[in-house]
Amino acid sequence: MDKLEYKILIIGGGITGLQATKDLVERGYKVILIEREPYLGGKVAQLDETFPVNAVSESCSLCYPLCYLLPEISKLYLKNNLQIFTYSKIKNIKKIKSKYIVEINKKTRYVDENKCNGCEKCIKVCPVKDIPNEFNFNLSKRTAIYQPMPNSIAPQHLIDSKNCLYFKDGSCNECEKVCPYKAINFNLKDEIFEESVDAIIIATGFDQINPTSLPQYGIQYKNVLTSLQFERMNSINGPTHGRILRISDNKEPKSIAFIQCVGSRTNDKPDCVSYCSTVCCMYSSKEALNIRKKKLPNCECYIFNTEKRAYGKQYYDMFLEAEQKWGVHYINGRVVNIVENPKNNNLIIQFENIETGEFCKKEFELVVLAAALAKSREKEQIAELIKQKLNKDGLFDKESIENLEKENIYIAGFARYPMNIPDSITDASAVAAKISFKLKLPLNHYNPEEEEKITDIQKEIISKTQNPRIGIFYCDFNDKISEIIDYDIIKKYFSSQNEVYFQEIIKNANTFKSKNKIIQLIKNNNINRVIFTSGSPRYFEEYFGLIMEEANLNKSLMEIIDLRELNAYIHFNDKNGAIIKAIQQINMAITKLICHNPLFIKKQPILQSALIINSDVTGIIIAHYLSAQNIETYLVQNNNIIFEEFNEKFIHSSHLNKKELEDILKNYKNDKLIKILENYNVNRVEGNAGNFSVTLSKLNSEIKINVATIIIAGGAAQSNSINNLFGYGTNGNIMTQMEFESNFNKIKSNHKIKNLGILLCVNQKLNPNSKYYKELEEKYGTRIALTSNCSNICCSKAIQKALEFKAENQDLQIYIIYRDLQLTGGILENIYRESKKYIIYLRYNSLDNINIEIDQNTLNIKVAFHELNSNTPIQIDLDALVLATPIVISNNIRELAKISKIRLEKYGFLQEEHSKLLPLNSTREGIFICGNSQWPNSLDLEISQALGCSMKVINFLSKGYLETNIQPAIINKDKCIGCGTCIRYCPYNAITFEFITKEYVFGSYKIRKAEVNPLICQSCGICVSECPVNAIKIPNSNDGALLSQILAFSKGIIENSRAGGI
């Protein structure tokens, strides 16, 4: 029977397209990835660093997202399931039956991609040097032949034919003359490829608007930049190498102003968008914080905004840190005009201070505009090809998206509506899940016989060549290492070493051609141990491991030497020192490989089942999608589960429409593969990813189930722990938002309510250092819910319910009393704008300024405060008051996290493995998180998380097996005294006790010994150093081997390695 195959086209190689590519290729689909730019990464490639915010697993406080995704894509690319077309565009899309015939125009670079190794000799001789650099948003110049993206995975250059003198008048071909690889060919033409695909994902991202249509913001002046220009300036590979400089005089500014909402939330001007661009508040705060913290500590930073939209996990904490710890000034003001001071090129900002009502002026040395993020320039062209229209904001409307999905065309990421990086990653996985649901592939199953064959081949190669035969490959990835370290000198030095049988410099090492060349050289020279010199192993370990696999060599007999971060980048001004250090590094690697014995990875089959805990809507969706892939699912849920209302009017687009969701909720209990465990509690979680043993109890009964993965899908709710504050508990018409929603039908029929107020941010977004916070904390302690975060969904829910209430009773007067409205992305801003016809919005500054009195006779509620927008004291009389209290995690989730050995963040919500790039992975392998256990989210995002989570689980299970760590710790049971020291110190919970029965003359007894789980162990070595009886070792890492490496580094004497054998 022919293997089932589907081919998917992904348009857009940004963060969303890359994640969708990764998910689909790992699942077994063939993927064609099209990117209009000559490089992958989209706008994220042009960013400085992103704040993980809640960095637990991250090793640093900043993060560059492509560090994770691009190596992953490079690894998948080399496995032949992925075609990548950069510098390409879709010319035509035609549907024939169930397939799409897609015409791809691959623009020529006039540089042979298989020959160019990025040496840059051509750039040095090019006479045309004054072309604005698009990657740097025109902040620097480039030549006519150039590398489009610095440090890209594919370093190939291209020629700009519009500016190249050869194409203008034939007067120059210097680049062709100087190229040592004959890579330049002026006769190359654009290529047309035709591909047949089963589904299409449109992930075209965004472009930033050109604010020239808004001259009042001063973009015409030299020292006014857009936010993306500022990102490039901040970047270490940017036009100023990370230095913040004024364009007019190249001096560091002493004051910077960040202007928010430039062209966003603007529905009456051309080139602007009516929605909130979602990410601007946070990246402006990020940059201001970074400037004060690291770059220019003495530079004054001001952020002009009308609201702080800090909707994500711990986002509001960043505002507080920036403002209170690092002195960033937030001005609640509307910028009216920016003019240049002709004397010094400074910028004079004229603005209205909302809090004081004053019209003010302030001078700054640099201004950064958070210009709106709008549709990408190719999105409109794609829309025309698929015969769809975009709305005035450049978005596909809800009906178009639903109709397209019926035809297997999916919209993902920012192309669907504005979203940040973690939401884009989630959305990409959600779309991949929908494709895997519709175009099903069978799950893979582990074949131990196949694995035994591979192991036998590797053992045979080692047995044929008992002595170490080391090959050294100096791999050039266009990372400038060879400009600092002369490989020929190093080759000469090691040519006399007995164990080194072969050396080769590999140019452009990340191509199929180079990969196959290395494999062939290994085989031809009977190499049994390999040293690769390159950049960081985190980029290249998978790639080199793949080479070892295909060369039938054991991966443990490979060493990767980082000559970039650990050498060339440090010694760029000392070439001789760099060469000496490289020799020492290679000496250590040689010594290490001589001491090494081959280690074989063991593979453990994994179960084809999953457990979903705290199941709400998200958990049921996951169960439905897993069941469709023939995966058995256990669903733990309460019998009083309440499903959130799906109001499509308040959702721009959801991955499930109302009918689809209702069908899932109606039918899941009849699904034979979904086993519902109602009102069970989780008592214990043992084992590891792929084979968890979970003990659950209900009343006096207890059951144990074995599953491969666990998903925690819910467990947060709005708090009513506010005692008698704001009159709660003293008047039946003062209620929490959750109580208001739960009893909505009853309340809206109460015609005595003529004036309704909704007070937002009750005990939320608080400053922990404020007098209000400290007084309440001291008075009530843990009996009251206080938080400095934003619960994200209260604002939109308040508007939704207010409009529904108003529709029932036209005479009703509704007041929404708010601090900052969180209405990011999609259509919420437009709904808010429209709702002003029916709702009165009043703004306050601080909760301690709100005074609530209740008339004991009439039960009338009087709310008095200082209204911010009008700068006047105000009092309103209400019949009912709704309090938007914090959404808090349940004690059940806290206990579950403890049992499951996964981390919680500071507010008690479940911590992601990586907040930007792995938002659905917990801190323990095999356990996934989504829904409000991860963070309060809108229903459409929770649906997206549920689908994304199902894709993660399906990919995890579809591999069929888990690999053990190649060097797990080994415990000598004869030496082990069962003291438990290693268990206490192991950071991965990889060690447990096992009980061994010992026989003696009068009977038997049990003694305890430590046991390492090789699937969990990370070979960190902590247990080795802590064991009081030296009963633990890491294979190939004994004292003698380590000492010989130290001697090799310090003296360069390979003979010392003989003392380090195992």
Structure tokens at 381: 């062209």
Pick the CATH number of 970-1034 from 3.40.50.970, 3.30.70.3270, 3.30.930.10, 3.60.15.10: 3.30.70.3270
Q: Quick check: 134 pLDDT over 80?
A: yes
46 pLDDT more than 50: yes
**pLDDT grade for 19, boundaries at 50, 70 and 90:** very high
pLDDT at 804 > cutoff 60: yes
β-strands 88-96, 927-929 pairing: unpaired
Question: Under CATH, to which class is 210-370 assigned?
Answer: alpha beta
Is 156 a residue whose pLDDT tops 90? no
- Residue 361 burial (CB count, 10 A): 11
- Please give the mean pLDDT across all residues of the chain: 89
CA angle 95, 30, 953 (to 5 degrees): 115
- Closest CA relative to residue 389, chosen from 146, 397, 667, 350: 397
pLDDT surpasses 60 at 50: yes
**1-107+190-205+376-442, CATH topology level:** FAD/NAD(P)-binding domain (3.50.50)
DSSP 796: H
Closest CA to 471 of 456, 479, 461, 486: 461
SS (H, E, C) 182-219: CCECCCCCCEEEEEEECEEEECCCEEECCHHHCHHHCC
Write down the pLDDT at residue 1056. 35
- Chain-centroid distance of CA 23 in Å reads 14
Residue 111 is classified by DSSP as B
| 667, pLDDT greater than 50 | yes
Q: Identify the residue whose tokens are 């430590």.
A: 1010
Q: Cα dist. 747→263, 507, 728, 753 in Å?
A: 40, 73, 17, 8
Tell me, what DSSP letter sits at residue 597? P
In this structure, what is the dihedral angle of CA atoms 288, 294, 295, 300, given to the nearest 10 degrees? 50
pLDDT value, residue 49:
78
Q: Which one has a higher pLDDT value, 776 or 512? A: 776
Spatial CA neighbour of 335 closest among 303, 304, 369, 368: 304
pLDDT at site 1044: 82
pLDDT above 90 covers what percent of the chain?
Answer: 63
What does the pLDDT average to over 260-279? 92
d(CA 492, CA 164): 41
Q: What is the mean pLDDT of residues 216-239?
A: 94
Q: Give the confidence band of 61 by pLDDT, cuts at 50, 70, 90.
A: very low
Residue 190 in this model has a pLDDT that exceeds 60: yes
What are residue 756's DSSP bridge partners? Answer: 814, 880
pLDDT of residue 1062: 29
CA separation, residue 58 to residues 7, 535, 565, 917, 987 (Å): 35, 20, 18, 11, 15
| Same topology between domain 210-370 and domain 734-887 | yes
Write down the CATH number for the domain with range 606-715+890-962.
3.50.50.60
pLDDT band at 58 (very low <50, low <70, confident <90, very high): very low
How does pLDDT run across 597-629, given as a tens digit for each residue? 888 777 888 999 999 998 789 999 999 999 999
Q: With bands split at pLDDT 50, 70 and 90, how would you rate the model's confidence at 184?
A: very high
- Percent of the chain scoring above 70 in pLDDT: 93
Check pLDDT > 80 for residue 258: yes
DSSP 328: P
Reported confidence tier of residue 457, pLDDT bands at 50, 70, 90: low
Provide mean pLDDT across the span 39-54.
79
- What is the DSSP code (8-state) at residue 934? T
CA–CA separation, 131 and 108 (whole Å): 19
**What pTM did the predictor assign?**
0.90
What is the pLDDT, as a whole number, of residue 883?
A: 96
pLDDT digits (tens, 9 = 90+) for 996-1034: 888 777 778 889 999 999 888 988 999 999 999 999 999
* Contact assessment for residue 612 and residue 634, using Cβ atoms and an 8 Å cutoff: yes
Output the pLDDT for position 467: 82
pLDDT band at residue 447 under the 50/70/90 scheme: low
Q: Which of 379-383, 540-544, 913-917, 998-1002 has the highest mean pLDDT?
A: 379-383
Q: What's the pLDDT band for 453 if we cut at 50, 70, 90?
A: low
φ and ψ at residue 583, rounded to 5 degrees = -60, -40
Protein fold of 734-887: FAD/NAD(P)-binding domain (3.50.50)
Mind listing the pLDDT tens digit for each residue in 275-326?
A: 999 999 999 999 999 999 989 999 999 999 999 998 888 899 999 999 999 9
Task: Please say whether the beta carbons of 1017 and 460 come within 8 A.
Answer: no
* Residue 59 clears pLDDT 60, i.e. is over it: no
pLDDT confidence of residue 666: 92
Alpha-carbon gap, residue 394 to 389, rounded angstroms: 9
The residues near 923 (Cβ < 8 Å, ≥ 6 apart) are 56, 57, 902, 903, 911, 912, 913
Kindly report, residue by residue over 836-847, the tens digit of the pLDDT.
999 999 999 999
Give the pLDDT confidence score for residue 1 in this predicted structure: 42
Which helix (H) or strand (E) segment holds residue 797: the answer is helix 794-808
What is the torsional sign of CA 454, 456, 459, 463?
Answer: negative
Which of 143-152, 240-249, 517-526, 810-819 has the least mean pLDDT? Answer: 143-152
**Is domain 110-183 classified as CATH 1.10.1060?**
no
Residue that wins the pLDDT comparison between 593 and 338: 338
Q: Helix 617-628 crosses helix 658-667 at what angle (to 10 degrees)?
A: 80
Task: Report angle CA 85, 88, 91 to the nearest 5 degrees.
Answer: 120
Work out whether the CA dihedral 1049, 1050, 1054, 1057 comes out positive or negative: negative
What pLDDT shows up at residue 700? 85
Give the number of other CB atoms < 10 A from CB of residue 853: 12
448-595 to CATH, choices 3.40.50, 3.40.1000, 3.40.720, 3.30.2450: 3.40.50
Cβ neighbour number for residue 309 with a 10 Å cutoff: 26
Cα–Cα distance for residue pair 349/214, rounded to 1 Å: 15
Segment 56-78 mean pLDDT: 61
590 pLDDT above the threshold of 50: yes
Map out the domains of the chain as residue ranges.
1-107+190-205+376-442, 110-183, 210-370, 448-595, 606-715+890-962, 734-887, 970-1034
Q: Which residue carries 């509506």 as its tokens?
A: 417
Q: Tell me which amino acid residue 367 is.
A: V
